Amino acid sequence: MIKVGVFGASGRVGRLLIEDLKQEKGMSLSTVYVRESLEFSIDPSVLVTNDMHVFLNACDIVIDFSLPEACQLLLEEALKSPKPIVVGTTGLDSHQMNLLKDASEIMPILYATNMSLGVALLSRLVNIAASTLEGFDIEIVEQHHRHKKDAPSGTALTLAYSAADGRGVDLDKVRVSGRNGNIGERSKDEIAVMALRGGDIVGRHTVGFYNDGEFIELNHTATSRNTFSKGALRAAKWLVEKPKGLYSIADCLEL
């Protein structure tokens, strides 16, 4: 039985992970990390702790859906007590990404800004489309619920990197994430990544390829957060046996 520790347990995805783990064969929830106290009841066999060291020692693998600064604390502690970690937290800055890379040199880490099979496939399709549809303007729009903190979404950025890779350009040099005022004509290489926020939208991403006379739009819509929690459990089962290294959801799904 694989013992799972959930980091970010009281969050929207964390709570679903706890529920989904009850039905999961071969895995069980052994511990949750909380900063203060847990606001909901949990099976008494689960260790609830605010001590990161105790948390890491009480599980075989950690699943993290928290916030960038919390994920950073987790990675810093994991460098002292290595453990396989599935990281689903988005919005990591360059320092936090470097920390994640450092940690993956001593433990297996799977980092995915989106745990869904559909988005993993979409990312592949975007890469192919970007290299095939030469000269088409690439524009990405993402929509999420009003509570989402980072923008553009990690998924939109992953899709943008995939498009930039297909096009052979450096995303950091061509990304546009806002247009306002007299900005002039669209440049040939730019890749726009725009964010909309509202209501309870779980996640919607559209990658458009626009040319004179025709356009293609590839769209993915998540209708339930269970897509992410179930995807993270699938990733955890896969990662727990792996050697140290940094893995993607595409590795896990063999895409």
What residues act catalytically? 144, 148
x-marked contacts with ligand NAD along 82-121 as a string, rule CB under 6 A = ------xxxx--------------------xxxx------
CA separation for the pair 61, 139 (Å, rounded): 37
Q: Please provide the DSSP assignment of 52-84 as one string.
A: HHHHHHT-SEEEE-S-HHHHHHHHHHHHHS---
* Cis peptide bond N-terminal to 152, omega within 30: yes
What is the nearest approach in angstroms of ligand NAD to the Cβ of residue 181? 30
Spatial CB neighbours of 69, under 8 Å, sequence gap ≥ 6: none
Task: Give the rounded distance of the alpha carbon of 190 from its chain centre.
Answer: 24
Total residue count of the chain as it appears in this document: 255
What's the token pair of residue 7?
């980091």
Size, binding site for ligand NAD by CB under 6 A: 23
CA separation for the pair 140, 31 (Å, rounded): 38
Which one, 31 or 90, has the nearer CB to ligand NAD?
A: 90
> Between residue 188 and residue 227, which ones bind ligand NAD under the rule CB under 6 A?
none
Which one, 48 or 190, has the nearer CB to ligand NAD?
A: 48
CA-CA-CA-CA torsion sign (178, 180, 186, 187) = negative
According to CB under 6 A, which one of 4, 5, 13, 61 is a site residue for ligand NAD? Answer: 13
Please name which of 95, 86, 97 lies closest in space to residue 61, comparing C-alpha atoms. Answer: 86
> Between residue 59 and residue 78, which ones bind ligand NAD under the rule CB under 6 A?
65-67, 69-70
Which one, 86 or 133, has the nearer CB to ligand NAD?
A: 86
- Containing H/E element for 51? none
Neighbours of 173 (CB within 10 A): 10
> Between residue 147 and residue 176, which ones bind ligand NAD under the rule CB under 6 A?
150
DSSP code at position 141: E
Span from 8-16, 94-102, 121-129, 162-170 in contact with ligand NAD (CB under 6 A): 8-16
What is the nearest approach in angstroms of ligand NAD to the Cβ of residue 97? 14
What is the nearest approach in angstroms of ligand NAD to the Cβ of residue 191? 21
Span from 5-13, 20-28, 176-184, 208-216 in contact with ligand NAD (CB under 6 A): 5-13
Residue 143 interacting with ligand NAD (CB under 6 A): no
What residues line the site for ligand NAD (CB under 6 A)? 8-14, 35, 65-67, 69-70, 88-91, 112-115, 150, 228
